Amino acid sequence: NIMLCLSDWQKGKVKLGHLDLEGALIARDRVGIQDFVLLDAHNSETAFLDNLKKRFTEDLIYTYIGTLLISVNPYKELDIYTKKQMDLYMGVNFFELPPHIYALADNVYHTMLSEANNNFILISGESGAGKTEASKKILQYYAVSCPSSTLMDTVRDRMLMSNPVLEAFGNAKTMKNDNSSRFGKYMDIQFDCQGDAVGGHILSYLLEKSRVVHQNHGERNFHIFYQLVEGGEEDLLRHLGLEKDTKRYSYLVQGECSNVSSINDKDDWKTVKNALSVIDFDANDIEHLFGIIASVLHLGNVHFDGDTKGYATLNTNAALRWLLEIHVQVLHEALTFRKIEAKSEEVLSPFTVDHAIYARDALAKAIYGRAFTWLVNRINESLENRVRGQQKKISDNFLLILCVLSFEQFCINYCNEKLQQLFIQLTLKAEQEEYEAEGIGWEPVQFFNNKIICDLVEEKHRGIISVLDEECMRPGDATDLTFLDKLEEKMGNHPHFVTHKLADKKTRKSLERGDFRLLHYAGEVTYCVVGFIDKNNDLLYKNIKDVIRLSKNPIIQQCFPATEGDSRRRPETVSPLFFNSGKVEICFFLLCLFSLFITGKFDEVLVRHQVKYLGLMEHLRVRRAGFAYRRRYEVFLKRCTCRWGGRTSSVFSPHKPELLFIFCHIQRTKIFIRYARTLFATEDAFEICKHELATKIETCWRGVQARKERDRRAWAVKIIKQFIKGYITRREAKTTDNSEYLAFVRQSYLNRLKNNLPKTVLDKTTWLTPPPVMTETSEILRQLHTRMMVRKYVRGITPQKKAQLQQKVVTSGIFKGKKDSYPSSVAVPFVDTRISQSFCYSVPVVKYDRNGFKPRPRQLILTQAAVYLVEEAKIKQRVDYVSLKGASLSNLGDSVMILHVALNDPKQKGDMVLQCDHLFEALTKLAMIANKQNNIKVVQGSIKFEIQTGKEGGVDFSTGQEPMIYKGKNGHLMVVAPRMKSR
């Protein structure tokens, strides 16, 4: 490989692929640095962005910051996710190959196995950055790289097929992304102690339910609605009361982009239906699930009018017939009235039109949201580890894939604050532990501590979340502005919080009266409080829940159980649900994959913003606070040395050892290099010296090969001379000179004979002609092989086949070589009878009258004593076998026979002229039953027959184009037989 590399390098034929490009000495300036820790100007944000841009331009979308991976979305298909690429990264050291998501996935998997700990992959970034695609790539990698078994294959299939289902029900087109995930999810894969996947689990949170009833311009509702309407079968749509037109449903047209060129809803529908089957959804579940989707669409088409007092009235339309399979009158009451408590009893209060629309939309969101939760739970049931209680070797190890996705910008920004805090802590901790283990002093690194911002959001009784929940639950009319007043009251002096009221004159110009601004880690962000109260609430009016429980749809009944507790007790708001789940799960974070949002070409302003809020420069500063490069000794030496000819040699020249160890720290288990330029100097020396070593190896190798070639040729000359001498003396008695040649001849003949043996006894030509030395042996082998084939054939003959062959032997003795049509009858098996009655034999025939030769259909029946000619149930002629003199037929291809009868009585009928389609079969049966094999004659020309005593007739035979039978002018029966092909 070294020589090939050097040869190609000298000839200028090196092709810079993704692997060669990053390793080539001449390409470093072109493609940048694959690990930012090795960036010389590591404190420069400009240098950071320039390195990203260089790599992005060459379609190198992955770059490391130590063990962190940055992925820049190329927004096009790259040929870097093939099976070949997966095989390349399996079991390879993390930094041994260029950065790739497969390297990260493989490293996490093997770390989990070696350390027997749970491991996490955190996928973070903005909408459209490629987080969903990244999670797919990781799952696909594990599907190929993990051990295979029936259980493993089932888990793989279901885990992979859960993606299109969750995308259909939880993803939608947004302004930034045509397949944006509108919910957060944790996905864990459960492995046993041997690394086999035995189960999985998905935890979803923060589904963007508001999208069900409202979409901004240029956006769509969840994919499943469009897939059902566009791709659903006619029978299904008719059953659900839907039409194949998305524009007819108000919940699907608010964004004014129902059809998107990059989305094929019909094909996606087929994928989703197939995926549901793989995940083990039964037909009833699928039918009820799509029934819920249709119900939401119909609910969106319900409209309200206002009466004279301004109260809402429900328009009766076709949509109501399909809503949740409940009564229109009950639904009418639920959507136009609400139950309130007055004087310790419940009364109905009428809705305004706005309230009715709110109730309708709340109902639609609640149904879809809980159906989505049911869907995730059903997927989890299919992924459940069912062998945990049966197999003691199952460990609790699992690998978690966590996608942090935008729902409300406030929530996601707070989550980023927590992640930033966590990243820095874990990175600092890992660095400090490594230096302590290697005996290197650690200098504290100064970084922005964003705990003050996290406390501002999450602190109990004082944080923004607590204030929001208190305002949602307090009695009276809580509004967004009263919520803003409470914020100003409780945190007016906080240095990271400002509103229009609290700001100075200069800042006040950039703030509206309903805004508040937080100084996040990544910079200032302004939030509008409009909608905070409604979006944090998740209330349904009591009577609406009662209506939902009347549904006959079993999924709805499971989602809204009757035992759901006191409906007057307010459920937990959205914010605590999100933040609590975030706190519990994120604390298990170990490794992360960052994905940046790019718009087709490198937008430095956009990338700079993401680099800042993701804290990438902070991570880089922490990693560079110590040493830029560290490797275990065995890994480093393996790269710097090569083994050939039984010896280990250094790639570096003996006179340049200082290039290897200058500025290096030799610690307990690793070698450390502080400065990136030192490593690059070492790498450059490595690139140069390895070619010098390759040249030396090439010289030695060519000498070894030349000596081997010399010896090989000498041996070949000797063998050829012996072969020629043996050929010359091959016909002489066996001697030392020809013994090897004769052995070669015997072996060659036997090898050829083995592959060309006759397959049947009738094959007389396949047997190979032997050389003189093998003549006797060949004849013995031929006889043995023939006997073996005969024995095998005889053993395979059944009693039925034996009887059939015995009849064919009789037929052959009578007709072979005598009648033209005989050969065509050989392959046709004889039957016991041609009619259903129990006789020795029977067959349909045509009988020609002895006077006039008129054809008459008859049955020829053979018994043990006589031959009968029968018309239906009437016997027309009976001839005892004693009186049967024999039978005659021509040698041509016709099917006419004459049965000759001894006329012992003047009243007795004469000979029978018959035509039979099964001529050979019938005559063979007759010959064997009557024992008349020697009385059947095949003649040429004409045949005479006796009409009665003293009176004769004749049958003349000839050949022609078409077979015919007619009375000739000479009074004879004329039979024209077809001309048979020569045989």
| 66 annotated binding-site participant | no
Confidence band (pLDDT; 50, 70, 90) for 605?
confident
CA dist 325 to 303, 312, 694, Å?
Answer: 18, 23, 79
| pLDDT, tens digit (0-9, with 9 covering 90-100), for 282-305 | 888 898 899 889 989 988 888 888
126 pLDDT above the threshold of 60: yes
The number of residues making up the chain comes to: 983
Rounded to a whole number of angstroms, the CA Rg of the chain reads: 47
Q: Is the dihedral of CA 472, 476, 481, 485 positive or negative?
A: negative
Q: Give residue 625's pLDDT.
A: 74
Greater confidence (835 vs 398) lies with: 835
Half-sphere exposure of 745 (CA within 13 A, CB side): 22
Taking the domains of the chain in order of start, what are their residue ranges? 415-580, 738-796, 822-978
The pLDDT tens digits for 711-738 are: 999 999 988 888 888 888 888 778 887 8
Task: Residue 3: name the closest of 647, 692, 703, 710 by CA.
Answer: 692
> For residues 431 and 624, what is the distance between their CA atoms, to the nearest angstrom?
10
**For position 327, what pLDDT does the model report?**
38
Does residue 931 contact residue 979 with C-beta atoms inside 8 Å?
A: no
The answer on pLDDT for 549 being more than 80 is: no
Closest to 177 (Cα-Cα) out of 135, 133, 225 = 133
Q: What is the pLDDT of residue 405?
A: 38
Contact in structure between 663 and 678 (CB atoms under 8 Å): yes
Place of tokens 């006191």: 566
888 is in an annotated binding site: no
Q: How far apart are CA 203 and CA 398, in angstroms?
A: 14
Q: Give residue-wise pLDDT tens across range 609-635.
A: 778 767 788 778 877 777 777 777 777
Residue 71 near residue 61, CB atoms below 8 Å: yes
Burial of 654 (0-12, 13-18, 19+ CB in 10 A): exposed
Task: Work out the pLDDT band at 309, boundaries 50, 70, 90.
Answer: confident
DSSP H helices, 587-675, are 604-613, 616-624, 633-640, 658-661
- The answer as to CATH 2.160.20.80 being correct for domain 822-978 is no
Q: Is 125 annotated as a binding residue?
A: yes
CA atoms of 465 and 573, how far apart (whole Å): 10
561-587 pLDDT per residue, tens:
655 554 444 444 444 444 444 443 333
Structural contact between residues 535 and 210, judged by C-beta atoms closer than 8 angstroms: yes
126 labelled ligand-binding: yes
Range in 198-207, 551-560, 745-754 the model is least confident about: 551-560
Residue 154: pLDDT band (50, 70, 90) is: confident
What is the C-alpha separation between 79 and 255, in angstroms, rounded?
35
Considering the segment(s) 415-580 as one domain, its CATH architecture is Up-down Bundle (1.20)
Question: What whole-number distance in Å separates Cα of residue 174 and Cα of residue 152?
Answer: 36
237-241, 466-470, 543-547, 745-749: range with lowest mean pLDDT: 543-547
pLDDT at residue 14 tops 80: no
Residue 127 is labelled as binding a ligand: yes
pLDDT, one tens digit per residue, over 858-908 is 999 999 899 999 998 788 899 999 999 999 999 999 999 999 999 887 778
Q: What pLDDT is recorded for position 307?
A: 79
pLDDT tier at 509 (50, 70, 90 boundaries)? confident
Taking only the tens place, the pLDDT of each residue in 917-932 is: 999 999 999 999 999 9
Per-residue b/e over 64-86, b at no fewer than 16 CB within 10 Å?
bbbbbbbbbbeeeeeebbeeebb
Tokens representing residue 451 in the block: 């705990």
| Per-residue pLDDT tens digits for 41-60 | 888 999 999 998 888 888 88
Q: For 583-622, b where at least 16 C-beta lie within 10 A, e where not — what string?
A: eebbebbbbbbbbbbbeeeeeeeebebbbebbbbbbbbbb
> Residue 476's pLDDT band (boundaries 50, 70, 90)?
confident
Residue among 912, 916, 911 at smallest CA distance from 895: 916
pLDDT for 272 beyond 90:
yes
pLDDT of residue 936: 93
Does the pLDDT at position 480 exceed 50? yes
Count of alpha carbons within 13 angstroms of residue 498, beta-carbon side:
19
> Which runs of E-coded beta strand occur in 521-654?
523-528, 591-596, 629-632, 641-644, 647-650
User: How far is Cα 258 from Cα 254, in angstroms, rounded to an integer?
Assistant: 9
Residue 659 has pLDDT above 70, yes or no: no
How much of the chain exceeds pLDDT 90, in percent?
A: 21
Strands (E), 37-124: 62-65, 68-72, 119-124
Angle between helices 464-473 and 574-586 (to 10 degrees): 150
Is the pLDDT at 72 greater than 70? The verdict is: yes
912: number of Cβ within 10 Å: 24
Out of 73-82, 469-478, 844-853, pick the least confident.
Answer: 469-478
Range of lowest pLDDT (72-76, 166-170, 407-411, 837-841): 407-411
Q: What letter would DSSP give residue 309?
A: T
